[in-house]
Structure 1
Amino acid sequence: MSDSLITLTEAVSGATAVIALDRGCNCFSLRLPHQEQPTELLWSEPGFPQGAGGAAHSGIPLLFPFPGRLASNRIVWQGEEFSVTTDPGELPIHGFVYDRPWRLLDRTDTTASAEFVLSRDGADGAACWPADFRLVARFALTAASLTIVVEIENVDCRPLPWGLGLHPYFRLAATASPEDAAACRVQLPVAQTWEMEGPFATGEFRELGNALSLHLGMRFSQIDLDLGFTGLQWFDETATCRLLDTTGRQVSIAWGPEFPHLVVYTPPHREAICLEPWTCLPDPLRLHEAGIASGLRLLAPGETIAATVTITQG
């Protein structure tokens, strides 16, 4: 197996996780036991680790230092202009790390960590963002869960503006049946949705009339979304989305208050659903510069902060 593919294995249960370092440190396969048999939780394009499909369209892409799309390929931060991409025909999306090779730091049978430094590993170095950064992703596998901890370090002498998102593609059912996928119930802990102007959030939120239905669970056949939510339900400082299929399998993704937003996306192929914890709105620097609260975070030089997401199956 290629050195760029890292396989974690929990020997007793047979649980496995496979991470493609060369494709953005993307965990594109997660198999956890259900009814004594490991089942795949994640959707990915066939041949993904060999380069098939878009880097943001499979597994668990890591989105940093901004999730979502920017309105321009140039940003202005504190009076200084930065060229985020050199392609004038393509608006930047999902940051700089999801489609670049990462470097392995360490691994055991059930854990691995890898790093990305913008000035060293970014396609355009550190000139595309107001400050350089180091990102470390730590993966820990158990018989019933995968925990991902993302550590953000400001390695520059200037404050680092940042936003983080995870973009997991979940399979809908333990079987490959379209009927079983359609019958899967999706529980979303949300009370508000983002107000949008075209593809961009305004910074305003609207109360949902069907929040209770989303809390209790809606059939996947009733859901067709590419939308951001907030007003999350918290229990012990944890928000949780759940997928419940017809076999009794329950898949959960849980996170803490560092992620106050949730993006839900149903890909056109209808074989998966994306349940995406985000720390901020899309295009957060533009909103921040306009005096609109966006969830943009600032990290002082030398400081480090971490965010955690856990995926379980029961």
Structure 2
Amino acid sequence: MPAITISDTTSGSQAQVLPELGFNLFQFSVTVQGQTIEVLDADENFAEGNVKPSRCGIPILFPFPNRIDAGKFSWDGKTYQLPTPNPGAHFIHGFCLDRPWRVTEQTESSVTAEFQLSKDAPDRLEFWPADFIIQCTYLLRGNALKSQFTFKNPDSKPLPWGFGTHAYFKIPLSDGSSVEHCLLEAPAHQQWKLENYIPTGERVPVTEANDLTDGAYYSALKLDDVLTDLKPDGKTLKCAVVDEGAGLQTVQECDGRFRELVVFTPPGRNAVCLEPYTCPTDAINLTAKGIECGWETLAPGAEHHTWIDIRVEPIMA
């Protein structure tokens, strides 16, 4: 399965993306203070296409992030049942993370691809209220991976949507450090209360077990939580992996409209997922219950733009 490599020759940064498997950017390396840092965690055989796409690199989650309860929802008077592996199972992570995308533009340092539901996964068109187009551009600039996303509604019907990414960040950031020297930071003050991974609709304060506001050591955390009440730094939202042993940090910065952050520590891996979402898990069903949660609708012919940046930098004293 051919991967596309982009690079910034001035800084030495490099990334690889797999268009045939959800346009997943599964490798990103930067050179900082003479060290080559591998930022993302992915199976060494991921490019062969034999690894679950939601478990490596940066899966792209659209037209909804995370789960829909039992794969069932109603919209505009019609009930939809998404195809789940068994009755009652949740459908997870949207429709485009495991299908081929079409590359539309490429330079030495950037690549753009597009996915349209009716064209690239026509078998799934019946499972969503409207057709959609999602475009993604990845650009390397210095020590940063810059991503830009555009969502379009080519249909004659309104498009309900939510969006997120699911980056797996490596921990620690250098061979000279260890997981015990790494902290996670995120400005989240509340969490959605969950039952079987699905929000009940109640938001409660974060606890000592998942409070990342002042930094928490990774080795003491076991998380799969939907955090909210994010308080952005100015107009953008920042979260970080801070490696005190390496003297470096990985910072993920994004549009301040992202209102949820899923934090997941995958068992058995030295990695963490910091997942910015525009809405929580099961948002389409929460909205139907009258709960305001960031679920959006795109009018026919309309489009929406957003962005997420990832960079590695020295820790500032």
* TM-score for the superposition, normalised by structure 2: 0.93
Counterparts of 1:174 and 1:69, CA distance in 2: 30
Partner of 1:16: 14
Greater CA deviation, 20-29 or 30-39? 30-39
The Cα of 1:97 is off from its aligned counterpart by 0.5
Deviations 1:108-150 (A, max 9, x none): 1111100000001116242110000000011111111011111
Deviations 1:65-99 (A, max 9, x none): 11111112332111112232265445310000011
Partner of 1:270: 269
The amino acid across from 1:214 in the alignment is L
Q: Is the contact made by 2:133 and 2:152 (CA closer than 8 Å) also made in structure 1?
A: yes
| Cα-Cα RMSD | 1.8
8 Å contact from structure 1 (residues 137, 149) kept in 2 = yes
Matched residue of 1:247: which SS? Answer: coil
CA distance in 2: counterparts of 1:212 and 1:122, whole angstroms: 37
Distance in 2 of aligned mates of 1:296 and 1:73: 17
- The 5 Å alignment of 1:31-70 reads 31-70=29-68
Post-superposition Cα deviations, 1:133-180, rounded to whole Å, max 9, x if no partner, equal 000011111111011111100010000000101000000112357x70
- On the 8 A contact 1:203/1:294 being kept in 2, the answer is no
Q: Does 2:240 align with 1:249?
A: no
Q: What residue identity is the alignment partner of 1:92?
A: F
Structure-2 separation of matches of 1:43 and 1:91: 25
Name the amino acid aligned to 2:155: D
Q: Deviations over 1:219-250 (max 9, x none)?
A: 11111100011111212211111112111011
Shift of 1:252: 0.2
Secondary structure (helix, strand or coil) at the match of 1:95 reads coil
Aligned to 2:108: 109
Q: CA deviation at 1:38?
A: 2.5
Matched with 1:97 is: 96
User: Aligned AA for 2:222?
Assistant: D
Structure 2: runs of 5+ lacking an equivalent: none
Aligned-partner Cα distance in 2 for 1:257–1:213:
20
Cα distance in 1 for residues equivalent to 2:210 and 2:171: 21
Aligned partner letter, 1:124: D
Residue 219 of structure 1 corresponds to: 217
> Which residue is 1:181 aligned to?
179
2:5, 2:33 → 1: CA distance? 22
Distance across 2 between alignment mates of 1:88 and 1:124: 19
Task: Tell me, in whole angstroms, the C-alpha distance in 2 between the residues paired with 1:123 and 1:264.
Answer: 32
Match of 1:206 in 2: 204
Q: Is the 8 A contact 2:46 2:56 kept in 1?
A: yes
Q: How far, CA to CA, are the matches of 2:196 and 2:209 in structure 1?
A: 23
Quick one: distance in 2 between partners of 1:212 and 1:223?
7
4+ residue segments displaced more than 6 Å = none
Distance of 2:215 and 2:85 partners within structure 1: 42
Shift of 1:212: 11
**Alpha carbons 1:140, 1:147 under 8 Å: kept:** yes
Contact 1:203 1:293 (8 Å CA) reproduced: no
Counterparts of 2:232 and 2:53, CA distance in 1:
31
Q: Write the distance in 1 (CA, Å) between the matches of 2:134 and 2:170.
A: 27
Corresponding residue number in structure 1 for 2:129: 130
Q: Give aligned pairs, total.
A: 311
Other structure's SS at 1:231 match: strand
Contact 2:24 2:57 in 1 (8 A): yes
How many Å separate the matches in 2 of 1:138 and 1:31?
A: 18
Tell me the SS of whatever aligns to 2:213: helix
